[in-house]
Amino acid sequence: MTAIARPRASGDRHQPRHDLRHDLRDDRRVLLGTVAVVGLLFAAATSVQSVMALGVFSTSLRAVDSSPVVEIAARTAINLGTVAVVLALTALLAPQRRRLALQLPMLAGIALAAGGARALAQWSSGLYSEAAVPVLLAEVGTTTAASGVTLGIGLALLALWRRLRTEERVRLNSQLEALEAHRELHAEELRVRRDVAEELHGTVQSSLVIVEARLLALAETPGSDAEALASVAEAVRTVRDVELRELMTGLYPADLDRGLVPAVRALIARLPASIVVDDEFAESGMRMEADRPLPLEDRLLVFRLVEEAVTNALRHGGAQRIRIAFAHAGGLLTVTVDDDGRGLPANATPSGLDRLRRQLDGRGGTLTVSPRADRRADGVASGTTLTASLPRSSPARPEPAVTLSAP
Amino acid sequence: MGVRVCVVEDQPLYRQMLTGLLGAAPGVVVEATADSFAEAIRVELRSVDVALVDVHLGDGDGIDLGLALRRRRPETAIVLLSASDSSHRLLALPASERGHWSYLSKTSALSASSLVGAIASAASGRSVIDRSVLEGRAPVRSGPLDTLTARQLEVLRLLSAGLTNAAIAEELGIAVRSVDNHVNAVYEALGVAATSRVNPRVSAAALFLEHSR
């Protein structure tokens, strides 16, 4: 079995894991912090205001002399207590974790409780005389309103905070994805450079060394024969036609600028005549680029997939027949390559496939390599199907003009 | 007056070698040279019979250029030159165009006889495909060429290289009459109608290119 389908890993790779508990703690901190600050401001302002504006009135209400300092201290203590009640109830009931429909009654309840508690404290501490029941009721009302507003500000600020946090995360994620894609691209460029350098050194250079040596030997031989020269010419032809062409294809596939079909046609033209390639690819490939050409990066990736599948089919699978098909639906490009070979050896994932899988991963695509769905008559699995799909990228720059349409 | 040629090649040394070879050949006149797509597109075509065009120009594609030149002057024949085997590119041409196009490898083009021969054939309305390109090719398994006999395949190969039946007979050392028979058998096997508007030799050559590697 050669099924090496693997679920896409990008879910856990590109989404930094955020601890839910951390977020809840964060929410509580923001809410309680805001309520504390706003509540303390209210508390301080109310204490000063009561004494400065209502001090005389308050004294006359109770018909006792009182110094402003004691007044302020007593009132401040009560107000701080009220803030503490709001904070405690908020921490206990955690309205930030409820639905909005539950948050409002909860907010009203907490505010009312704070108002009641404050009035009770004021009454029991004797700040108001018993005759001042309407004043106490007014205090309940204003305290409830102030607490409600405080808690409301806290919840509103928390909602804003949450939105900013989400936006920041989305921004960070897309930055991470861009970084990842850039890294992938850079790694790919380095790989190609290294491969080309190795190929230049290992194959082209050593071929040229041999050619040079043979030419020198011929130069030293008087009356060199035509046959020997022709054989050197043949060696030069191999360097030019085979080795250099392979290098060029590795760097940039022939005819890619002209479209996917011409590039695949150039690839097929290099296959041995014993390999049958079904004609389907031309029609489906033309259809894929009929409305508008694919962005070059998509075209290159699709071409590399075909190239890799064909190479594996011939090299590892000993295939005789290959079918290549393209499809384009709903912004999703799909390429399917079937062959009738033996399939990839078990547990073998050619490095080329791994690399392409990573590239697809970074682009939100998928790659599946599996035994061919249709079995031979004797029931033995034969051949491999490679299926890859990727979302078509939006063109970032104008494509090279193609004036000649391929068949 | 000889065949008037326009040479379009971006590599200076290779262009020089081509103009040198053509200048020395009797019956051929180099009317114009161009080192780029942009320059070639401005060449005065009235005095050109054959355009010798490199497939890979620095600033454009030789086949696009050939099509543009032929749109401007449909009498112009195109001989494509390529350093690597790009003969499959000819298959992208519309069927009505193919007969006016020839193809030479850059190696063959440096042999005076191949070059001048191809240009003379192109000027007289025949399409030539480089013999060295055709010689290495074998029919694709279970394709339409697979049913041809070895002799028929050989005849088709020479026909695709632009040889007349008489020349094929001479090459193979057989009677012209038997070449005629072989050619007709090939047409029949490939389903090429001798009455079609497109020259059957051109259609047969295209099928050879398409179904061999």
Do A265 and B91 count as a contact with CB atoms less than 8 A apart?
Answer: yes
- Are A237 and B84 inside 8 Å of each other by CB? no
Nearest alpha carbon to residue B103 among B77, B140, B124? B77
CA–CA distance, A115 with A111 (Å, rounded to integer): 6
Q: In what order do the strands lie in the sheet with B77-82?
A: B28-34, B3-8, B50-54, B77-82, B101-105
Chain B residues near residue A249 by CB distance under 8 angstroms: none
Closest CA–CA distance from residue B88 to any residue of chain A (Å)? 7
A240 touches chain B (CB under 8 A): yes
Task: Determine, for residues B92 and A404 on separate chains, whether the beta-carbon distance falls below 8 Å.
Answer: yes
Confidence of residue A121 (pLDDT cuts 50, 70, 90): confident
Q: What is the DSSP letter of A201?
A: I
| CATH no. for A253-391 | 3.30.565.10
Mean pLDDT of chain A: 82
Closest of A227, A230, A267 to residue A245, by C-alpha? A267
> Which of residues A2 and A332 earns the better pLDDT score?
A332
CB B145 within 8 A of CB B139: yes
Closest CA to A7 of A367, A351, A347: A367
Report the pLDDT value the prediction gives residue A45, as an integer from 0 to 100: 86
The per-residue pLDDT for range B10-50, each reduced to its tens digit, is 999 999 999 999 999 999 999 999 999 999 999 988 889 99
Task: Give Cα separations from A202 to A209, A239, A250, B84 (angstroms).
Answer: 11, 12, 15, 21
Q: C-alpha A251: how far from its chain's center?
A: 28
Residues of chain B positioned with their CB less than 8 A from the CB of A406: 92
pLDDT bucket at A406, cuts 50 / 70 / 90: very low
Residue B58 has phi, psi (to 5 degrees) of: -55, -40
Closest residue in B to A272 (Cα–Cα): B213
> Which of B88, B107, B138 is opposite residue A273, by nearest beta carbon?
B138
**Nearest-by-Cβ selection for B64 from A240, A266, A404:** A404
Rounded to the nearest angstrom, the minimum Cα separation between B213 and chain A is 5
Q: Which of B128, B25, B136 is nearest to B84 (CA)?
A: B136
Round to whole Å and give the CA distance between A131 and B55: 107
Amino acid B194: pLDDT? 65
DSSP type of residue A295? P
Burial A141-174 (b: 16+ CB within 10 A, else e): eebbebbbebbbebbebbeebeeeeeeeeeeeee
Q: Which amino acid is at A127?
A: L
Task: State mean pLDDT over A322-349.
Answer: 85
pLDDT tens profile A338-388: 998 887 776 667 788 888 998 888 888 999 988 876 655 554 557 889 999
Sort out which chain A residues have CB atoms less than 8 A from B139's CB and list them: 273
Residues of B in contact with A237 (CB under 8 A): 107
pLDDT for A278 equals 87
Chain A CB contacts of B137 under 8 Å are 273
Strands (DSSP E) contained in B15-174 are 28-34, 50-54, 56-57, 60-61, 77-82, 101-105
How many Å from the N-terminal Cα to the C-terminal Cα in chain A? 38
Span B96-134, pLDDT tens digits: 899 999 999 998 999 999 999 999 999 998 999 999 889
Chosen from B53, B56, B59, B61 to mutate, greatest number of chain A CBs within 10 A:
B61
Q: Where are the beta strands (DSSP E) in A88-242?
A: none
Pure H helices in B73-195: 95-98, 112-123, 131-135, 150-160, 165-172, 176-190
- CB–CB contact B138 A275 (8 Å): no
How confident is the model over B173-202, as a mean pLDDT? 89
Q: Classify the C-alpha dihedral A119-A124-A127-A131 as positive or negative.
A: positive
Report the complex ipTM.
0.85
A249 to chain B: closest CA residue: B84
- Residue A11 has a pLDDT of 41
**B3 CB-side CA count, 13 A:** 28
**How many CA atoms are closer than 13 Å to the CA of A151, on its beta-carbon side?**
32
Provide the 3-class DSSP secondary structure of residue A291: coil
| The predicted structure's pLDDT at residue A389 | 94
Look at chain A and count its residues.
Answer: 407
Q: Indicate the residue of A248, A262, A273 with minimum beta-carbon distance to B92.
A: A262
State mean pLDDT over A231-251: 88
Cross-chain residue pair A274–B141, CB shorter than 8 Å: yes
CB of B127 within 8 A of CB of B202? yes
Q: What whole-number distance in Å separates Cα of residue A17 and Cα of residue A195?
A: 37
Q: What is the pLDDT of residues A23-81, one digit of tens each?
A: 899 999 999 999 999 999 988 888 777 766 655 455 545 555 556 667 777 888 888 99
Instruction: Sort B41 into a burial class: Cβ within 10 Å, 0-12 / 13-18 / 19+.
Output: middle
B37, B93, B140: best mutation site toward chain A, by most A Cβ within 10 Å?
A: B140
- Collect all residues with Cβ–Cβ distance below 8 Å to A72 and sequence separation of at least 6: A47, A48, A51
Chain A partners within 8 Å of B84 (Cβ): 240-241, 245, 248, 254
Helix (H) or strand (E) holding A276: strand A276-277
Cα separation of A346 and A342, whole Å? 11
Q: Which domains does chain B have, with CATH numbers?
A: 3-130 (3.40.50.2300), 137-210 (1.10.10.10)
pLDDT of residue A177: 83
Helix, strand, coil % in chain A, rounded to nearest 5: 65, 10, 25
| pLDDT at A129 (0 to 100) | 62
Compute the nearest-CA separation of B208 from chain A (Å): 12
Q: Would you kindly state where each structural domain of chain A is located, as residue ranges?
A: 12-178, 186-250, 253-391
List chain A residues with CB under 8 Å of B210.
none
- Nearest CA distance, A241 vs chain B (angstrom): 6
Residues A126-169 pLDDT 10s: 776 666 778 788 888 989 999 999 999 999 999 999 999 999 99
Global pTM reads 0.70
The stretch A220-227 carries a mean pLDDT of 83
Is A234 in CB contact (< 8 Å) with chain B?
no
Q: What percent of chain B has pLDDT over 70?
A: 98
What does A76-125 look like in DSSP terms, one character per residue? HHHHHHHHHHHHHHHHHH-GGGS-HHHHHHHHHHHHHHHHHHHHHHHHHT
* H/E run at residue A368: strand A366-371
Instruction: Tell me what pLDDT residue A376 has.
Output: 52
Helix axes B200-210, B176-190, angle to 10 degrees: 60
Nearest residue on chain B to A266, alpha-carbon basis: B88
In this complex, is the C-beta atom of A289 within 8 Å of any C-beta atom belonging to chain B?
Answer: no
10 Å Cβ neighbour count for B76?
19
Question: Is B213 within 8 Å of A270 when comparing Cβ atoms?
Answer: yes
What pLDDT sits at residue A53? 65
Selected residue with higher pLDDT from A3 and A102: A102
For position A9, what pLDDT does the model report?
Answer: 41
Sign of the Cα pseudo-torsion (A129, A135, A140, A143, in order) = negative
